[in-house]
Each structure stands twice: as C-alpha cells, then as structure tokens.
Structure 1
Amino acid sequence: MRSLFTIGLIASWYASNIGVLLLNKFLLSNYGFKYPIFLTLCHMMACSLLSYIAIEWLKIAPMQRVKSRLQMMKISALGFIFCLSVVGGNISLRYLPVSFNQAVGATTPFFTAVFAVVMTSKREGWITYVTLVPVVAGVIIASGGEPLFHLFGFMMCIGATAARALKSVLQGLLLSSEGEKLNSMNLLMYMAPVAVMALFPAALYMERGVVGITIALARDDWKFLIYLLFNSALAYFVNLANFLVTKHTSPLTLQVLGNAKGAVAVVISILIFKNPVSITGMLGYSLTVAGVILYTEAKKRSM
C-alpha cells in the first residue's frame, strides 16, 4: 500500500511538472498571451494563498515562524532570486520550444558547482567536475542543431537556470543554522509574497495594460480564465508534490526522477506542439542528460 502511495506521488509530481510547463508554453506562445511577468505573478499569488492554506489549515507541514528581521531579509533575497528564475523560464518559453528549454535547464548542476566554488570555496573531487563536461557540451551541440533557436530566449533560459542554481547555493549559506532552516513548503510560503511584491509593479510597468487585457480575454473566452487559474494552481502543486516526494523517498531519488522527467517532458512536448527536432539536437540533449546522471552518481559516491 505504501509503495502504491509513493508511485502515486511520483506520478502526480511528473504530471504537475510537465503539465505546468506545457500550459505555460501554450499560454505564452500558442495562445498568444504574451505576458510572462504577469503569468509568473499569477503563479506566485497562487503559491502565497495555497501554501498558507496547506500549512495553516491542512497541516501538510508544520508551521515554522520567522524568528528575526535578519532571517526575513535572507528569505526575501532568496524570494527575489526565485522570482527571477521563474520569470526567466517563462520568458524563454515564448521563444523556445519546450524540448530545448528542458535541455538548457538540465545544466543546473553545472551552475550549482560553479556557484558553490565561487561562494563557499567548496570543491568536489576531480571526477565530479569531469562529469560536467558532457553536461555543457551537450547543450552546445543541441544549440547548434536546434531548428527554432532564438538568442534572446536562450539567454533568458540560461539566466533562469543560473538563478535556480544560485538560489539553492544561497539557501544553504543563508539559512545554514538550525534555528533558521525552513522546509521547502514554509520557505515557499514566505518567498512567494516577496515575489508578488516585486512582480506586481514590474508587470504594470513592463507589460502595460496587462490587467485590462486579461479581464477582456476572460470575458471573451471563459476557457482562458480556466487555463489561467488551473495553470496557477498547478504551479503551486509542483512545489507541493516535490516536497511530498522528497519526504517519502529521498533527495537523491528526486534528482534521479528529475533527470527522467526532463526526457519525458521533451517527448510529450514534441508530440503535442510538433516542433521540429534535429538528430544533432537530440544527440546533444542525450549527452547532457547522460552527463547529469554521471554527475549525480559521482556526487553520491563522494558523500
């Protein structure tokens, strides 16, 4: 029974991860709702509300209180970087196919290793760094073979991937003491409102008229409102499923499942959006995934 429950959690995590990615692409590119900052704002508003309900009312995770102004400042810094990573990822989906977006996103371990050395002087064994070579080489090959390559979209995707890695390294640095550590659900509950406060004025200034356009679209097509609400709720559920899978398995299992999830997302996105792919691009992505698997194995052996 327990194994069935775990399998169900993993399936939910896969479905929510891939679902929010495909819905983002559909809204931002195929549907023509070209407002990635506002879309991210909707995601963060849903995360703020639903994470509070899940912790305070449903007791999915124990409530952890912020104990000092300094701790809140650290959480706010993480929230801002988290916000940049999500916005960058959503902007990239306007210009890049999901398959290539996932290929670039797979280079997160490379940026994590770089930031870890620069910010903490923590060095891994040489074999760990060797495994990062195919991770980067694969993306370079995939870029050269991507029929729908877009330089600005590629830069946004790289930026989002780097910001995601920076957040994970900073989280270990800023919230390192036992009194300051927060589980992922509590951290999201405190980070999401910070992201909302940063995104609201940014959306109003950089995506002028977006609120009126969104209301008009919802009036003209009720399905758009359903898409937007479901997409926002799904963005929160990704984090919830991630937390529950980690709780019932292990962080290492999550890494392995994440590698497979990227490959599944690529196949499904190609089947749905029918974007052209080249043999060179697929070989490059396969090399990156192989590098990430080797990196995970090398990290496990070095522990």
Structure 2
Amino acid sequence: MGKGGSVSDGVMKKILLSYTYVAIWIFLSFTVIVYNKYILDKKMYNWPFPISLTMIHMSFCATLAILLVRVFKFVEPVSMSREVYFSSVVPIGALYSLSLWLSNSAYIYLSVSFIQMLKALMPVAVYSIGVGLRKESYKNDTMFNMLSISMGVAVAAYGEARFDTWGVILQLGAVAFEATRLVMIQILLTSKGISLNPITSLYYVAPCCLVFLSVPWILVEYPILKENSSFHFDFVIFGTNSLCAFALNLAVFLLVGKTSALTMNVAGVVKDWLLIAFSWSVIKDTVTPINLFGYGLAFLGVAYYNHSKLQALKAKEAQKKVTQADEETGRLLEDREGDGSGKRNDQQN
C-alpha cells in the first residue's frame, strides 16, 4: 500500500509539474502577444514599427544568449562547422526573421482575436509543406482534416468585423514562413543530428535575424524614425517586452523538453481561446457569432489533428516496445543455445 502510494505521489507530482509548465508557457505567450499589440497598435502606445520591435527583441535575446554561452558558460555551444552554419542555420534565421516581422506587422491591422483564428492554419501549412518536401506522407483523411480547418478559418474571416486584406496577407505570410521554418529545422538540423535548445538557438539564429532585418529596416523604417525626432526610447517598455520574449523562448524549451510538442499544441488551443476572450472583454475587439462559429469548426479540426498525432505517437511507442521485447527474447534464445552447445562440447570432451 505504501509502495502504491509513493507511485501515486510521483505520478501526481509529474502531472502537477506538467500543468505548471503549460501555465507558464500560456502566461508568457499571452503576455508577449498582448504586449506587442499594445506597443504596435495606433490606438494604444502607437509605435507602429514592427521591424524595429523585432530587431529590439533579437538584439536583447542575442546579447543574453551570448552572455549565457560565452561568459557565464551556462550552456555549451553546439559543435558546428561553418558549412553547416551557412547551409542550415542561416536559411532558418532568414525564415524566422520574416515570420516575426510579418506576424508583428499584422497586429497593426488586425485584432488579437482574429489573428489567433488565422493562426489555426499552422497545422495546415506545416502538413502541406511537409508533404511537398516529402517529410510527411500524404493521407486522404489528414488532407480532409486540413480542408475542414481551412474552411473554419474562412468562415471566421467572413464574419470578421474589422477585416483588413493587407493584415490578412501579412498574417498568412507569417504562418507560411513559420511553417516552412519548422519543416526546415527537421530537414536541415535534425537530420544532421544537431539539436538546439532556446539559448543556443538564439545564440546562432538571432544574429542572422538582425542581419536580414537590417535591410528592410534601413529602407522602410529608419528614414521615418530619423524624421520623428520626438521619439524617445522607453527602456522600461521595450526592456520588459524584450525580457518577456526571451523568457517565452525558455518556456518553449521547458514545456517541450519536460512534456512534448503535442502538449504545446494542445496548450496553444487553450491559449487562443483565452486570447479571444481577453480581446473581446478587455480590449473591446468585436467578435461576431460567425467568427466564433468559424473558429469553432477550425478548433474541432485542430483538436482531431492533435488526437490523431497522439494516437500515432502511442502506436509508435507500442511498436517500439514490441520490437525491443522481440530483440530481448531473441538475445535470450541465443544465450540459451550458446549455453546448450557449450555443455554438449564439455560432455563430448
């Protein structure tokens, strides 16, 4: 009974820790999204410079990552050749910079709630790009599921009260670039046995993002900021905002490392509903019944997709256990046969 109780306590502790990791990630993701909206929206802080904001985030994250890796030796840098860096990390950095730039830009034109509805297309984009690049196998039922998610998002867009074509294009572009980045990480890094945690990821990727973002920044936002002599850099606002962005990267590693990527996907659905409720009740964004109906359809599609991934993961784990058991049985039989032949040889001698 005592032994059973100790096992139960251990399981309960593990469950509580998992919920804690989920809560931390939801809180930080929620905070970063709302904070970025506050800074960029013309009706709030009124600083509509998404490239500059993204560069501030990347500068802050890169500086902290360099300090943690090079000065404090908190983590060890990954062994990586220059060829691998330029062929793998640099393209991922370019995709990441485009994703962040377009995603932050969308907050100027769209409501927080509608952006979360559009983000429901992420599984569709990841699966479609994975099939196109032959990292995923095409399945009719999965594609039908992707179409149902797309249909739900289309209905939500149809019911959007503040529909802005340019904002939708920016957010869809952000989804496409982010999905491509996730697939490319599997192709370019995972296949080569390279694993990056958030600190080493920022250590290698953030400087690339700064370089890529500097080109559009010089052409688009720098001339406007130069003329706007009334602007004064608010260290409290941008410092805390950047710190939240850095903490979110660590929370992603904590959540995925201690639970799974699937858990983060499920937690992301909960976060989206919370953001929609917050956007409607606090920010006073208009959320129509058609919005909610469309996102409800997309939500069901995403939930089914996550359920399918979970079942596939369980089947894979079960198959792995069966294979290990078969290998263990085979080794035992070989050992017994070896012992038997050894005994026969002794008897003959």
Are 1:86 and 1:160, in contact at CA under 8 Å, matched by a contact in 2?
yes
Verify: 1:297 aligned to 2:311, yes or no.
no
Specify which of 271, 274, 278 is matched with residue 261 of structure 1: 271
Higher relative contact order (CA 8 A, sep 6+): 1
Verify: 1:241 aligned to 2:214, yes or no.
no
Aligned to 2:207: 193
Aligned to 2:87: 73
Q: Which has the larger radius of gyration?
A: 2
TM-fit CA distance, 1:53: 3.4
Q: Distance in 2 between matches of 1:151 and 1:100?
A: 12
- Mind listing any 5+ residue stretches in structure 2 that lack a counterpart? 1-12, 314-349
Q: Distance in 2 between matches of 1:294 and 1:4?
A: 25
Specify which of 118, 124, 128 is matched with residue 114 of structure 1: 128
Change (3 A) 1:132 1:164: same
TM-fit CA distance, 1:226: 1.5
1:198-277 alignment to 2 at 5 Å? 198-209=212-223, 211-212=225-226, 216-218=230-232, 224-277=234-287
Verify: 1:167 aligned to 2:177, yes or no.
no
Aligned to 2:118: 104
TM-fit CA distance, 1:96: 0.1
Verify: 1:12 aligned to 2:18, yes or no.
no
TM-fit CA distance, 1:8: 3.3
Change (3 A) 1:11 1:52: farther
1:16-35 alignment to 2 at 5 Å? 16-29=28-41, 30-35=44-49
**Secondary structure of 2:137 counterpart:** coil
TM-fit CA distance, 1:217: 2.9
Are 2:22 and 2:264, in contact at CA under 8 Å, matched by a contact in 1?
no
More deviation in 43-52 or 3-12? 3-12
Residues 104-150 of structure 1: per-residue CA shift (max 9 Å, x gap): 01110001111011112631433222221221011100111000000
TM-score norm. by structure 1 comes to: 0.91
Q: Distance in 2 between matches of 1:230 and 1:295?
A: 36
Are 1:64 and 1:182, in contact at CA under 8 Å, matched by a contact in 2?
yes
Change (3 A) 1:180 1:67: farther
Change (3 A) 1:8 1:48: same
* One-letter amino acid of the structure 2 residue matched with residue 123 of structure 1: S
TM-score norm. by structure 2 comes to: 0.79
More deviation in 149-158 or 179-188? 179-188
Verify: 1:281 aligned to 2:295, yes or no.
no
Verify: 1:145 aligned to 2:162, yes or no.
no
Q: Distance in 2 between matches of 1:301 and 1:78?
A: 30
Are 1:80 and 1:195, in contact at CA under 8 Å, matched by a contact in 2?
yes
Are 1:134 and 1:287, in contact at CA under 8 Å, matched by a contact in 2?
yes
Alignment size in residue pairs: 299
* One-letter amino acid of the structure 1 residue matched with residue 25 of structure 2: W
TM-fit CA distance, 1:58: 6.0
Residues 38-63 of structure 1: per-residue CA shift (max 9 Å, x gap): 11111111221223334456666543
Change (3 A) 1:2 1:218: farther
Q: Distance in 1 between matches of 2:293 and 2:74?
A: 41
More deviation in 266-275 or 51-60? 51-60
Aligned to 1:84: 98
* One-letter amino acid of the structure 1 residue matched with residue 274 of structure 2: V
Are 1:128 and 1:299, in contact at CA under 8 Å, matched by a contact in 2?
no
**Secondary structure of 1:32 counterpart:** coil
Identical counterparts, % of pairs: 27
* One-letter amino acid of the structure 2 residue matched with residue 280 of structure 1: I
What is the RMSD of the two structures over their aligned residues, measured on CA atoms? 2.2
TM-fit CA distance, 1:14: 1.1
